[in-house]
A and B are shown apart, each in its own frame.
Chain A
Amino acid sequence: MASVALTNLDPASRAAARGWSDLTIRNLFIIPTLVFLIVFNIFPLIYSLGYSFTNFAANRAEPWQFVGLQNYRELLSDDHIWSNFVITAKYVIVSVAGQMVVGFGLALLLNRSFPMKGLITTLLLLPMMMSAAVVGLFWQLLYSPSWGPINYVFGLGDFAWLSNPDSALYAVAITDIWMWSPFVMLLSLAGLSAVPQHLYEAAAIDRAGWWYTFTRITLPLVSPILLIALIFRTMEAFKTFDIAYTMTTQPTAELIAIRLYKQAFQQWDTGKSCALAYIVLIMVLAITNLYVKYLNKVKER
């Protein structure tokens, strides 16, 4: 019985005085969470799955009809949607790879003692504490070819980062790297500081080189936590909406989340957008599962 596992109530406590059992108290804490989850997560999830098989449109008073797999068929054979997926994939690869390199690099630099380490670490964390929409608006100004400092500093003249169809997506990815590298840095730093110091000392005694120490000690011991950072960032990058939406309207930078938003809230094609949301969900789940499998393997080592 579950209640057996719980420790007994302190007879002097107020709860005991009211005659509440352990079970009552446990339920008191769990039930609100469960109700919240069911009402706001599980129920809409199932409900929208139902919608995805209909031609329901939230702005129309007409009755909806069951259309079977038609929404899924149409979406999967739509070139526009596939190009959105390709754009999203490019974006995820560039921005997550950038964040891993920059974030882990910063963590390596910070993983030693130097003056004002605490202050510098805190300052480096600031970008990820800002609202993504605000970051997008600021970077839009930074990239501006007329008065933005980026072109001025790099001497790029009037190169239009966001109006150029070839560079818009990468400009957004760079912003995302700036914003979220600190997150990878923070996790890596936690991993790095957990590597036992005696391993490094032993390596030093054996006169192991920097590269050898890094690849044989540091990386293997930090990789589980790096993989967790990778999972989080991939999931987040896949659903990126706010930064990209505020920065550019280039079709070459139209991520799948933006297409989904347009379909759901501008065109009110509710049924089809539910189907698209499910396709996205399945893709994210598949990618995450691959990662988790790999993570377990790494942990076993």
Chain B
Amino acid sequence: MRKIVTSVIAGIGLALACGTSVRAQDKELTIFWAEWDPANYLQELVNDYTAETGVKVTVQTTPWPDFQTKAFTEFNAHGDAYDLVVGDSQWLGAGSTQGHYVDLTDFFNQHKLNDVMAPATIKYYAEYPGGSGKYWAIPLEGDAIGWSYRKDWFEDPKEKEAFKAKYGYDLAVPTTYAQLRDIAEFFHRPDQKKYGIAIYTDNSYDAMAMGVESAIFSYGGDLGDYATYKVDGITNSKEAAAGLDMYKQLYKFTPPGWGKTFFVEDNQAITGGLAAMSMNFFAFFPPLVNKATNPYADVTGFFANPAGPDGKRFAALGGQGISVISYSKNKDEAMKFLEWFIKDETQKKWAELGGYTCSQAVLKSEAFQNATPYNKAFYDTMFMVKDFWATPEYAEVLDQLNQNIYPFVVGGKGTAQEALDKTAADWKATFTKYNRYK
């Protein structure tokens, strides 16, 4: 009897031992991101990591409109379904203060990432609160607002002549918002089914806010003082109102029915031959240089966001950093993955695959800047970006902005100053509610 018991126990022990050793080999990491091309590039990239280390890495995706909801539902439930998340820059506040993200400050300092990654990407994708020296993410996908345009329309000698006769200067890639407006007006010919410009107007998440803030920043305005939460006189400054007013003017030259548009519609404006110029995040530009997805690929050009009247030039920041989720059971393994991810050769490969690296060395290289028709514009833009609020209550703040500016831009109700005055008042009330003015 004793023999039987011993052998059974030994058998169980052996089985368990084998089981654990098998598990050790089968380590897995899950990265959560939105459903778009860069996520596919990332999956390709991490396959190399699997080949090197045997750790299987899966990039799980969900459509953009659900991304925030799904990620935060999982965080709130303290779920361990994902080990890492490539989260929006605005999530840093909520992610860090509510304990969803692992503090990466030591990792950051140890690897001197301040010297490795582009400064703007560290400021907006990694650090929270601003200037605190505490880091919660590694910049992964750099992104910002840029523009695509129809080179053939711009270079047509007849158009050039007509433009010069009407506006008194040469038709070329716009360097100021005033020129952008003129060109949009010039090409806006509804009777020929040709329209001036395509901009973001969707107010269900941050699309319109990104478009509007690009104009506000370039006009010398700001959304507020992110350190002190002061909004009065900043959010509703004259400069900010002028920027918002410019955005409203641009809306007049959009294709008809342009009231709920984001990246899909703005790219369609180019691929469908509808508009002369189109705003979009750089991450959505790859299909525009592909003949299969854009019949005008050969004649599509790109430029960085133009300057305001005083020569100030900024663009809204998109893009994301990768963070370790504090509820993950594989945190050590996730940190090892990050160590691999920040290596120069990994970053180089990432850029080659189509990812927008934030590595300074790669960004500055000739090879990167000449790799695609838009990489140069991307490089220029990444050193002049500004972002939206990243406070934990940013979703509320964003909704209030949407509620106030959408009726003005799309509905033509009220004035820019009124819309921003109302926004400043709403924001002040919200920040007061969350005790931001201690």
Q: Which residues of A contact B (CB under 8 A)?
A: 58-61, 80, 143-146, 158-165, 168, 245, 248-252, 262, 265-269
| Supplied contacts A252-B411, A267-B393, A267-B399, 10 more A-B pairs, CB within 8 Å | A59-B75, A80-B403, A158-B257, A160-B258, A249-B202, A249-B259, A250-B411, A252-B407, A266-B395, A267-B396
| Contact A146/B274 with A59-B76, A249-B203 known, Cβ cut-off 8 Å | yes
Name the residue on B nearest A264 (C-beta): B69
- Find chain A residues with CB under 8 A from B403 CB: 80, 251
Residues on B with C-beta less than 8 A from A61 are 98-99
Query: Using Cβ atoms and an 8 Å threshold, which residues of chain B touch A162?
Result: 257, 259-260
Interface size on B, residues (CB 8 A): 34
Instruction: Answer yes or no: B7 CB below 8 A from chain A CBs.
Output: no
Task: Judge whether B43 is part of the interface by a CB distance below 8 angstroms.
Answer: no
The answer, among A146, A245, A250, A252, for a CB contact under 8 Å with B255, is A146
Q: Kindly state the separation between the CA atoms of A144 and B255 in the bound complex, as whole angstroms.
A: 10
Q: Is the CB of B98 within 8 A of A59?
A: yes
B interface SS class: loop
B258 close to A163 (CB less than 8 A): yes
A160 → chain B closest CB, angstroms: 4
In the assembled complex, the Cα of A234 lies from the Cα of B98 at a distance in Å of 41
**B168 interface contact, C-beta 8 A:** no
**How many residue pairs between the two chains, A and B, have CB atoms under 8 Å in the bound complex?**
84
Q: Confirm or deny: B68 has a beta carbon within 8 angstroms of a beta carbon on chain A.
A: yes
Indicate if B253 sits at the interface (CB-CB under 8 A).
no
If A59-B75, A80-B403, A249-B203 touch, whether A163 touches B410 (CB-CB below 8 Å) is: yes
Residues of chain A within 8 A (CB-CB) of B204 are 245, 249
Q: How far is the CA of A170 from the CA of B94 in the complex (A)?
A: 38
Most buried by B among A143, A251, A269: A251
Contacts of A265 in B (CB 8 A): 69
- Interface of chain A: mostly helix, strand, loop or mixed: loop
Whether B69 pairs with A248 at a CB distance below 8 angstroms is no
A59 close to B257 (CB less than 8 A): no
Chain B stretch 262-314: residues in CB contact (< 8 A) with chain A: 272, 274
- Compute how far the CA of A80 lies from the CA of B395 in the bound complex, rounded to whole angstroms: 17
A-B CB contact pairs (8 Å), 26 listed: A59-B94, A59-B392, A143-B257, A158-B190, A158-B257, A159-B256, A161-B257, A162-B257, A162-B259, A163-B259, A163-B260, A163-B410, A164-B259, A165-B407, A165-B410, A165-B413, A168-B259, A245-B204, A249-B202, A249-B204, A249-B406, A251-B407, A266-B205, A266-B395, A266-B399, A267-B399
